[in-house]
Chains A and B, each alone.
Chain A
Amino acid sequence: MDHIDQLEAEAIYILRETAAQFKKPVLLFSGGKDSTVLIYLSIKAFYPAKSIFPVMHVDTGHNFIEALEFRDQLVERFGLKLIVRKVSDTIINKGLVEPQGKFPSRNALQSHTLLDAIQEFGFDACIGGGRRDEEKARAKERIFSIRENGGGWQPYSQRPELWDLYNGRINEGQNIRVFPISNWSELDVWNYIRREKIELPSLYFSHNRKCIRYNNRLIAVSNYMIAEDTDDIIDTHVRYRTVGDMTCTAAVASTAITIDEVINEIANSPISERGETRMDDNISDAGMEDRKLKGYF
């Protein structure tokens, strides 16, 4: 078995453990490459039976249209059950404050919507595409990671996790986040996408887009941001390395239109995935840790 086979085997094993140990598991889908890979893995894990996991999208309302179209096609193609819960509804119901600024990101508000949905459906396990190499707080996550009542992560008292004996036993009010592709790198994900012929939103490949040059980053022009006359707008070849909110994900200049070209580009990129594309981790040294403490993915 080569390293991709080993990573796939580990992920499939974890998905089957999740199916066996929980009553109401759900797969969290963002429209990005990592959660798309998760969906393909969950199809393979249970073939020829269907995947038993419904798919939930926490919709910030700031999505790329390409990601939404892709989501609907994917769900249709595999006959998956799709649940959508909208951050805009949570903002109204809970009287939350819309984020401010030039690029108002609802990224942090997603946690409220997610926690509400977990309660509404009684989900006991949420499967996510988080990877340990993405970010330093993620590097500390267990494969089965407990969330307490308020959804918070308790990084200093995590359960021991021995061998592949994932402990999914929980008490009232707790739920578990499951991370089957914890040990995959960005390149592993892309090599798997190539090997399994996985389709992705067109955003991941080079296309023409109007972007604003802002703090050395390229941010797509959209209705969700505040336009100003002084904006430095260019129309250029870009692709996305990660796909999140239109307001918190930066594009990268790229002419890569095939998977091989993308893999080549990433392998030679001097900059990390989040470093190049995320605008929300830079806010503080512990940006991700703080969001996770409050129930973030």
Chain B
Amino acid sequence: MDILRFITAGSVDDGKSTLIGRMLYDTNNIKDDILESISATADDVNLAYLTDGLRSERQQGITIDVAYKYFTTAKRKYIITDAPGHFQYTKNLVTGASSADVIIILIDAVNGITSQTKRHLLVASFLKMKHIVVAINKMDLMAYDESVFTAIKTKFLALSNNLQLAGVTFIPMSALSGDNVTFHSTEMNWYQGGSLLKYLEDCESTILAHSNPMRLPIQYVDDCYYLGKLVAGQIKAGDRVVAHPQGYELTIEKIISGYETVEEVHAGQNIQITFTGNLKLERGNVLSPLQNKPSMSNELVIDMCWLDVQNPLLLNANYILRINTATTTCKVTEILHKIDNESFGKYQDNKQVNVNEFATVKVTTTNNMVFDSYKTLAATGRGILMDSITSNTVAAFTIQ
């Protein structure tokens, strides 16, 4: 059994909560007392009520912030991130989607693609999500008509042409009646693909590419050991490695994983290591092999989504930039371009970036930063900006 994380994105009333409720219900993951609390009468279960956790959310019938739900099948533990759909909450969608393996974008078959769908696409593209499912819901209201499905699919593909998305899968669905949620619908025999659950069961979870060059960011230093999570590749006792940004060459002496001393570890594990020599490293340093080193610079070009509701991005103001465990102060010196939310085209606006907007900017950092391309080595190719006064997380970014 492994873990698969997925996020659902949809506009208000597209049926997101119903879909999540349906999945939990059909896989027998709702306990009786919970079921009772969401049922007005024995045969009037409000599946949507399962997911809205805060009082105002229930009162207004909308999702405001991300909620997490869980279910298991014989094969997997699923972590569902239920995210709000409205523009205003794009920042919450980015939060939720950042840790997901799969994004499910819901479209109401009656309304078709909306501006909000475009925003969800933009988030999926920004995070370079590898698995995208477009669930075309409420097919029952359109007489389960194939041409409705095909029209939306065609329009969606044309739209996403500009975005270089990875594999997109389209599923016609009725969350309310359960068609193509956990079982193949008998109402839509024209659809050859599997149900959503089948897709999820077969989906490869984020494989930490073992073939990638090794990266070990130092997370914490105690009296004797360096602690960190190996984010890519593998490492063996006796390996010669380079510490960045210093550029020192070192030999790994001892590796501990859990309570055991081990010869070799793979990506994904938290380890404690020592190396020969008297050098001192600190949190934020990164170990790599002698070949295939990360890049290093104090000038970065980053793709960002601005997340701060209170203040827009200010050019030449002080921010704190973090990549993996390394932090430094920085200034954003130039807005290269912004992304239009509707056409996905690039446009110039060198004044400011507002909340929920996407832009590519140039940053100058106080310290040299060690980084990779997000596409190949995600963990060392992404980061956040924090406000130097409020300490809030104000931007998420990836490096090309």
Contacts and interface: CB of A to CB of B under 8 A. Distances in A.
Interface in A130-186: 132-133, 136-137, 139-140, 155-165, 167, 169-171, 182-183, 185
Given A140-B53, A156-B65, A160-B91, A170 B3 contact: no
27 contacts: A3-B3, A3-B76, A7-B3, A9-B269, A44-B258, A46-B227, A132-B67, A139-B67, A140-B66, A140-B67, A155-B65, A156-B54, A156-B64, A157-B309, A159-B393, A160-B91, A160-B92, A161-B393, A163-B98, A163-B382, A165-B384, A185-B77, A187-B72, A272-B31, A272-B34, A285-B55, A289-B54
Interface of A: 1-3, 6-7, 9, 12-13, 16-17, 19-20, 44-49, 52, 132-133, 136-137, 139-140, 155-165, 167, 169-171, 182-183, 185, 187-188, 269-272, 275-276, 285-286, 289
Contacts of B195: none
B295 interface: no
A2 B220 contact: no
Q: Considering the complex of A and B, which 7 residue pairs feature the smallest CB-CB distances, nearest first?
A: A275-B33, A136-B53, A169-B391, A272-B31, A270-B32, A20-B220, A160-B95
B70 A167 contact: no
Contacts of A132: 67-68, 70
A160 B227 CA distance: 26
Contacts of B258: 44, 47
A183 B33 contact: no
A49 B55 contact: no
Interface in B12-31: 31
A297 B259 CA distance: 30
A275 B31 contact: yes
A183 B33 CA distance: 21
A171 B3 CA distance: 35
Contacts of B185: none
Contacts of A182: 68
A148 to B, nearest CB: 12
A169 B320 contact: yes
Contacts of B219: 13, 16-17, 20
A20 B270 CA distance: 14
B99 interface: yes
Nearest to B227: A16
B31 A271 contact: yes
B224 A2 contact: no
Given A47-B258, A159-B393, A183-B79, 9 more contacts: A2-B1, A48-B225, A48-B272, A136-B52, A136-B54, A160-B307, A163-B379, A169-B386, A285-B58
Contacts of B92: 160
B131 to A, nearest CB: 17
A161 B91 CA distance: 10
